[in-house]
Amino acid sequence: MEYRAGSMGRIFYIRLDDGDDLHQCIRELVVREQVRSAWFQVFGGLKKAGVVTGPREPVMPPDPVWTTVTEAREILGIGSVFRDGEEPLIHLHAAMGRHGDTLTGCVRRDSMVYLVDEVLLMEMTGIDVTRPWSDERGFNRPEFDAPKDQGAAG
Protein backbone atom coordinates (compact mmCIF):
# COMPACT_ATOMS: atom_id res chain seq x y z
CA MET A 1 0.00 0.00 0.00
CA GLU A 2 1.09 3.52 -0.72
CA TYR A 3 -0.80 6.78 -0.14
CA ARG A 4 -0.57 10.56 0.00
CA ALA A 5 -2.58 13.15 1.89
CA GLY A 6 -3.98 16.17 0.13
CA SER A 7 -6.89 18.58 0.20
CA MET A 8 -10.04 19.20 -1.73
CA GLY A 9 -9.76 21.99 -4.26
CA ARG A 10 -12.56 23.29 -6.44
CA ILE A 11 -15.85 21.46 -6.89
CA PHE A 12 -17.57 21.40 -10.29
CA TYR A 13 -21.21 20.52 -10.84
CA ILE A 14 -21.63 19.48 -14.48
CA ARG A 15 -24.84 18.91 -16.44
CA LEU A 16 -24.51 16.83 -19.60
CA ASP A 17 -27.32 16.67 -22.12
CA ASP A 18 -28.66 14.03 -24.48
CA GLY A 19 -26.00 13.05 -27.02
CA ASP A 20 -23.03 14.51 -25.11
CA ASP A 21 -20.00 12.22 -24.74
CA LEU A 22 -19.49 11.77 -20.99
CA HIS A 23 -15.75 11.07 -21.20
CA GLN A 24 -15.06 13.85 -23.70
CA CYS A 25 -16.98 16.46 -21.68
CA ILE A 26 -15.13 15.61 -18.46
CA ARG A 27 -11.84 15.69 -20.36
CA GLU A 28 -12.65 19.11 -21.86
CA LEU A 29 -13.51 20.52 -18.43
CA VAL A 30 -10.33 19.29 -16.72
CA VAL A 31 -8.18 20.61 -19.58
CA ARG A 32 -9.94 24.01 -19.61
CA GLU A 33 -9.83 24.33 -15.81
CA GLN A 34 -6.31 22.83 -15.50
CA VAL A 35 -7.41 20.12 -13.07
CA ARG A 36 -4.55 17.65 -12.46
CA SER A 37 -6.29 15.17 -10.13
CA ALA A 38 -9.98 14.66 -9.39
CA TRP A 39 -12.62 12.28 -8.11
CA PHE A 40 -16.17 12.32 -9.48
CA GLN A 41 -19.64 10.86 -9.14
CA VAL A 42 -22.14 10.57 -11.97
CA PHE A 43 -25.79 9.62 -12.28
CA GLY A 44 -28.31 9.82 -15.08
CA GLY A 45 -28.53 7.84 -18.30
CA LEU A 46 -26.38 6.45 -21.10
CA LYS A 47 -27.64 5.28 -24.47
CA LYS A 48 -24.30 4.00 -25.74
CA ALA A 49 -21.02 2.96 -24.15
CA GLY A 50 -18.05 0.64 -24.51
CA VAL A 51 -17.73 -1.17 -21.17
CA VAL A 52 -15.16 -3.62 -19.80
CA THR A 53 -17.01 -6.14 -17.65
CA GLY A 54 -13.92 -7.89 -16.32
CA PRO A 55 -10.91 -9.90 -17.41
CA ARG A 56 -11.30 -13.25 -19.19
CA GLU A 57 -9.05 -14.79 -16.54
CA PRO A 58 -7.50 -13.32 -13.37
CA VAL A 59 -4.03 -12.86 -14.89
CA MET A 60 -1.71 -9.93 -15.45
CA PRO A 61 -1.78 -8.32 -17.89
CA PRO A 62 -5.57 -8.73 -18.14
CA ASP A 63 -7.42 -9.66 -21.31
CA PRO A 64 -10.49 -7.40 -21.06
CA VAL A 65 -14.00 -8.59 -21.89
CA TRP A 66 -15.81 -5.82 -23.80
CA THR A 67 -19.55 -5.21 -23.88
CA THR A 68 -21.21 -2.52 -25.95
CA VAL A 69 -24.25 -0.82 -24.45
CA THR A 70 -26.60 0.16 -27.29
CA GLU A 71 -29.85 0.81 -25.44
CA ALA A 72 -30.74 3.42 -22.84
CA ARG A 73 -29.66 2.53 -19.30
CA GLU A 74 -29.71 4.33 -15.98
CA ILE A 75 -26.18 4.96 -14.67
CA LEU A 76 -24.69 5.41 -11.23
CA GLY A 77 -20.90 5.59 -11.16
CA ILE A 78 -17.75 6.82 -9.53
CA GLY A 79 -14.45 7.68 -11.14
CA SER A 80 -11.12 9.44 -11.07
CA VAL A 81 -9.14 11.72 -13.33
CA PHE A 82 -5.34 11.57 -13.33
CA ARG A 83 -2.85 12.39 -16.07
CA ASP A 84 -0.46 10.37 -18.18
CA GLY A 85 1.94 13.18 -19.05
CA GLU A 86 -0.38 16.00 -20.08
CA GLU A 87 -3.20 13.68 -21.17
CA PRO A 88 -6.09 13.42 -18.66
CA LEU A 89 -7.29 9.84 -18.23
CA ILE A 90 -10.84 9.20 -17.04
CA HIS A 91 -11.39 5.99 -15.05
CA LEU A 92 -15.10 5.33 -14.46
CA HIS A 93 -16.75 2.31 -12.88
CA ALA A 94 -20.53 2.26 -13.01
CA ALA A 95 -23.66 0.20 -12.61
CA MET A 96 -26.02 0.59 -15.56
CA GLY A 97 -29.57 -0.66 -15.24
CA ARG A 98 -32.34 -1.39 -17.73
CA HIS A 99 -35.71 -2.93 -16.90
CA GLY A 100 -34.40 -4.49 -13.67
CA ASP A 101 -31.20 -5.92 -15.19
CA THR A 102 -27.88 -4.39 -14.16
CA LEU A 103 -24.56 -4.34 -16.00
CA THR A 104 -21.56 -3.26 -13.95
CA GLY A 105 -18.17 -2.45 -15.38
CA CYS A 106 -15.50 0.05 -16.38
CA VAL A 107 -17.05 2.55 -18.81
CA ARG A 108 -14.20 3.26 -21.22
CA ARG A 109 -15.36 4.77 -24.50
CA ASP A 110 -18.23 6.02 -26.65
CA SER A 111 -20.17 7.08 -23.53
CA MET A 112 -23.18 8.87 -25.02
CA VAL A 113 -25.57 10.53 -22.58
CA TYR A 114 -29.27 9.68 -22.64
CA LEU A 115 -31.49 12.62 -21.56
CA VAL A 116 -29.26 14.10 -18.84
CA ASP A 117 -26.29 13.18 -16.64
CA GLU A 118 -25.23 15.00 -13.52
CA VAL A 119 -21.58 14.93 -12.48
CA LEU A 120 -20.01 16.20 -9.27
CA LEU A 121 -16.26 16.52 -9.87
CA MET A 122 -14.00 17.25 -6.89
CA GLU A 123 -10.48 18.49 -7.54
CA MET A 124 -7.72 17.08 -5.32
CA THR A 125 -4.80 19.34 -4.45
CA GLY A 126 -1.55 18.86 -2.58
CA ILE A 127 -0.92 15.38 -3.98
CA ASP A 128 0.74 14.51 -7.26
CA VAL A 129 -0.85 11.38 -8.70
CA THR A 130 -0.34 10.31 -12.30
CA ARG A 131 -1.68 7.32 -14.24
CA PRO A 132 1.14 6.16 -16.55
CA TRP A 133 0.94 2.99 -18.63
CA SER A 134 2.50 -0.09 -17.02
CA ASP A 135 3.74 -2.65 -19.55
CA GLU A 136 4.13 -5.22 -16.77
CA ARG A 137 0.55 -4.84 -15.55
CA GLY A 138 -1.10 -4.02 -18.89
CA PHE A 139 -3.04 -0.98 -17.68
CA ASN A 140 -2.63 2.62 -16.50
CA ARG A 141 -1.82 2.34 -12.79
CA PRO A 142 -1.98 5.31 -10.37
CA GLU A 143 1.52 6.37 -9.30
CA PHE A 144 2.59 8.82 -6.62
CA ASP A 145 5.22 11.36 -7.61
CA ALA A 146 5.55 12.96 -4.17
CA PRO A 147 8.44 12.01 -1.84
CA LYS A 148 8.28 8.38 -0.71
CA ASP A 149 8.64 9.22 3.00
CA GLN A 150 4.90 10.04 3.32
CA GLY A 151 2.59 7.08 3.39
CA ALA A 152 4.72 4.32 1.94
CA ALA A 153 4.19 0.98 3.62
CA GLY A 154 6.77 -1.70 3.29
pLDDT of residue 144: 87
pTM over 0.85: yes
pLDDT band at 4 (very low <50, low <70, confident <90, very high): confident
Is the residue at 145 inside a domain?
no
**Long-range contact list for 20-24, CB < 8 A, 24+ apart?**
20/112, 20/113, 20/117, 21/110, 21/111, 21/112, 21/113, 22/46, 22/49, 22/92, 22/107, 22/111, 22/112, 22/113, 22/117, 22/119, 23/90, 23/92, 23/107, 23/108, 23/109, 23/111
Query: If you average pLDDT over residues 140-150, what whole number do you get?
Result: 71
Is 45 part of any domain? yes
Predicted local distance difference test score (pLDDT) of residue 124: 96
Instruction: List Cβ neighbours of 76 (8 Å cut-off, separation of 6 or more).
Output: 42, 43, 94, 95
Range in 32-46, 73-87, 126-140 the model is least confident about? 126-140
Arithmetic mean of pLDDT over the chain: 92
Q: Is 109 inside any structural domain?
A: yes
Residue 152, pLDDT > 90, answer no
Structural domain including 82 reads 7-126
**Closest-CA residue to 18 (of 98, 111, 97, 116):** 116
The answer to whether position 138 is within a domain reads: no
The confidence band for 146, taking pLDDT boundaries of 50, 70 and 90, is: low
92-136 pLDDT, tens digit per residue, is 999 999 999 999 999 999 999 999 999 999 999 998 888 888 888
Decide if 69 is inside a domain.
Answer: yes
State mean pLDDT over 35-47.
Answer: 97
What is the number of structural domains in the chain? 1
Would 41 be classed as within a structural domain? yes
**CATH code for the domain in which residue 107 is found:** 3.30.1330.80
Q: Is residue 141 part of a domain?
A: no
Q: Can you tell me the distance from the alpha carbon of 40 to that of 116, in angstroms, rounded to the nearest whole number?
A: 16
Residue 101 has a pLDDT of 94
